[in-house]
Structure formats: structure tokens, C-alpha cells
């Protein structure tokens, strides 16, 4: 008896399978797949299809009323989450209108869009930025924080063994400043090195820069946090509450606030506060880094920038 070798059967089945698959594949050329995601500042719409000629000839307009109008080179079916978009449909609860070669996504809160095209798979990516986030970016860019590391030079500040307040203060100030800069917030320092700097010199810098916030950093000989503001400030809560909240959230040490007629606070032309950090920061680097995290988050929160996790589909 002649037996068909098993590999022949296998080969035959593969060929049949490919033949069956071809029309489906061909049909998919008439189909565009849509994915969407909601991020902190924007919606992302991704149109994927087989041919880059198609994604390259899709045109996008942001209309005056905040809707996004997309022109396709031909009439396509748009598949979203396993179904074909109907003439009137919705994506993530946003109404969509599809007619002939046009798809309108009826967003209303979009200020600007960014469009990018990529290969393999060929796709078009639209990032639609919320009005609020564009406003927020503008606010961010207009902010400036001046950080004042206490002491310096001959004035070592508080000291235990070889650990000196002036060194820790500048480490904290520099790290906070660079973290803020990464977030797009202008940050500068009254002193960037180990130098003697009089209080009036510090004030001259503050008076000429007129920052959005002046933050002086010190350590204390106790295990408490202290936040000082000038007695002249009418409503210090707005300024200090984010700091109190963050420190209480992240540390077990008590946080005290007080109005003190300190020269730096009294003479500052900007909202000013001085923070004293528990002595543990002198010798515990991990603790110091946690303080830095809390300060950065408090500053960002103060200016109402709430971090949200990206939500994707
Ligand atoms: Zn000090």
C-alpha cells in the first residue's frame, strides 16, 4: 500500500489554508483598524492599515468647535474593538459620524492636535490635546521657583560629626531644582556652590527674579518638620497646604507651621516659605531623597498638576 507521507498532508493543508485566507486578507485592504487611548493630557487615536499609501493620504483637520475631521482617500470600513463603526457611533463615549470618506470625532475640549505616521504596521497617530492641558502647559512655562539652600561657606549651619546642614541643604535644593526643570518648571538657586551668601544678597536675587515661589531650605536639630511664613501674608494656607499634605502623607514626623518675622520671609517680594527638615536628613540619604520627592510633588501639586496614570485600550 502506498501511504501519503505525513508532511505532504501537512503541506497540502497549509496551501488550502492560505487559499482560504487570501480573500480575507484582500478584504482587509478595505478596512482600517482604529485604536484609542486616553492619556493625562490627550486622546490618542491610531489608524492602522495594510498599506502606507493609505495612511499617508489620510488628512486631518481640527475644527473650530474642537471636533476632529478625518478625510480618507477612499471609502473604508473602520473597525474599532472588533466591530465596524456605523454611520453614527461612538469611541470612548465620544460621538462619531462616518459618511463616505469622512469620519468626524465629535470631541469638544481639544485645543491642538499632533499627527505622526509610522511604518510596520503602517499607521497614523493623532494625539488630541485637551484645552485644559494646553493651558496647564502655559502656566507651567510661566512658573519660576527660586530655591535657597540655607547657610554656605564659613557658615556650616547645624552639624553632627562630619555632616553639615549647608551640604545637605544644597543637595536637596539642587536635586529639587533639576527635577522641576525636567517637568518644564523654571527653577533657580540663590547659591549653587559652597559659598558665603548674606541674607541681603539672597534677597537681592529674589527681588530681581520675582519668582512664583521662594523656598528656603534648612535642617533642624529636632525630629519635626517646620514650615515658616511671614506674618504679613494674608492667606498662607494656599501656599503651605500642599507641603503640609505631602509631608504628612509620606512621613510620620509631625509638621508644624508658624508665622515668623524672618528677614528672608519679610523682605521677599514673592510668596515665600522656609522649611526646616528633621535632623535625620543629615545622615540618612534615603530619608533625604524621600524629602526631595515630597517637596517636588508638593510644588507640582501647589500649581495644580495632578499626575494621572495613563489609561489605554
Ligand atoms: Zn539653617
pLDDT at 16: 55
CA–centroid distance, 247 to ligand 1, in Å, is 19
CA–centroid distance, 149 to ligand 1, in Å, is 9
- pLDDT band (50, 70, 90) for residue 138: confident
CA–centroid distance, 305 to ligand 1, in Å, is 30
pLDDT at 310: 32
CA–centroid distance, 158 to ligand 1, in Å, is 6
Residues 77-136 pLDDT 10s = 999 999 999 999 999 889 999 999 999 999 988 989 999 999 989 999 999 998 877 777
CA–centroid distance, 274 to ligand 1, in Å, is 10
CA–centroid distance, 304 to ligand 1, in Å, is 29
pLDDT at 234: 81
Residues whose beta carbons lie less than 5 angstroms from ion ligand 1 = 150, 157, 218
Query: Domains of the chain (ranges plus CATH)?
Result: 28-131 (2.60.40.790), 143-302 (3.40.630.40)
CA–centroid distance, 212 to ligand 1, in Å, is 23
CA–centroid distance, 270 to ligand 1, in Å, is 21
Question: Is residue 302 exposed (0-12), middle (13-18) or buried (19+ Cβ within 10 Å)?
Answer: buried
CA–centroid distance, 226 to ligand 1, in Å, is 12
Tell if the pTM clears 0.85, that is, is over it.
Answer: no
CA–centroid distance, 236 to ligand 1, in Å, is 21
Cis-peptide into 121, omega within 30 deg: yes
Percent residues over pLDDT 70 in the chain: 88
Give the residue, 51 or 44, on which the prediction is more confident: 44
Alpha helices in the chain (DSSP H): 6-28, 52-56, 131-142, 165-182, 199-209, 236-250, 263-267, 285-302
Residues 224-259 pLDDT 10s = 999 999 998 888 888 899 999 999 999 999 999 999
Assigned C-alpha cell, 3 = 501511504
Closest CA to 185 of 296, 275, 293, 288: 296
CA distance 109 to 135: 12
Amino acid at each position: 500500500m502506498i501511504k501519503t507521507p505525513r508532511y505532504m498532508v501537512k503541506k497540502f493543508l497549509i496551501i488550502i489554508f492560505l487559499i482560504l485566507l487570501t480573500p480575507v486578507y484582500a478584504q482587509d485592504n478595505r478596512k482600517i483598524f482604529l485604536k484609542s487611548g486616553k492619556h493625562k493630557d490627550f486622546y490618542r487615536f491610531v489608524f492602522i492599515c495594510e498599506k502606507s499609501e493609505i495612511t499617508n493620504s489620510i488628512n486631518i483637520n481640527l475644527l473650530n468647535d474642537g471636533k476632529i475631521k478625518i478625510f480618507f482617500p477612499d471609502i473604508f470600513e473602520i473597525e474599532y474593538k472588533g466591530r465596524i463603526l456605523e454611520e453614527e457611533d461612538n469611541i470612548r463615549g465620544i460621538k462619531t459620524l462616518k459618511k463616505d470618506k469622512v469620519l468626524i470625532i465629535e470631541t469638544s475640549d481639544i485645543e491642538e492636535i499632533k499627527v505622526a505616521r509610522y511604518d510596520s504596521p503602517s499607521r497614523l497617530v493623532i494625539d488630541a490635546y485637551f484645552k485644559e492641558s494646553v493651558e496647564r502647559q502655559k502656566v507651567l512655562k510661566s512658573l519660576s521657583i527660586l530655591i535657597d539652600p540655607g547657610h554656605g561657606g564659613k557658615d556650616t549651619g547645624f552639624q553632627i560629626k562630619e555632616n553639615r546642614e549647608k551640604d545637605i541643604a544644597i543637595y536637596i535644593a539642587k536635586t529639587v531644582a533639576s527635577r522641576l526643570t525636567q517637568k518644564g518648571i523654571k527653577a533657580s538657586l540663590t547659591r549653587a556652590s559652597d559659598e558665603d551668601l548674606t541674607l541681603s544678597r539672597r534677597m537681592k536675587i529674589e527681588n530681581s527674579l520675582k519668582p512664583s515661589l521662594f523656598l528656603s531650605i534648612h535642617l533642624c536639630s529636632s525630629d519635626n518638620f517646620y514650615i515658616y511664613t511671614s506674618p504679613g501674608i494674608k492667606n498662607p494656607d494656599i501656599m503651605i497646604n500642599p507641603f503640609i499634605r505631602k509631608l504628612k502623607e509620606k512621613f510620620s514626623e509631625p509638621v508644624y507651621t508658624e508665622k515668623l518675622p524672618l528677614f528672608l520671609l519679610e523682605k521677599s517680594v514673592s510668596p515665600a516659605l522656609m522649611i526646616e527638615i528633621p535632623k535625620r536628613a543629615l545622615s540618612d540619604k534615603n530619608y533625604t531623597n524621600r524629602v526631595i520627592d515630597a517637596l517636588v510633588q508638593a510644588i507640582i501639586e501647589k500649581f495644580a498638576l495632578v499626575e494621572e496614570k495613563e489609561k489605554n485600550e
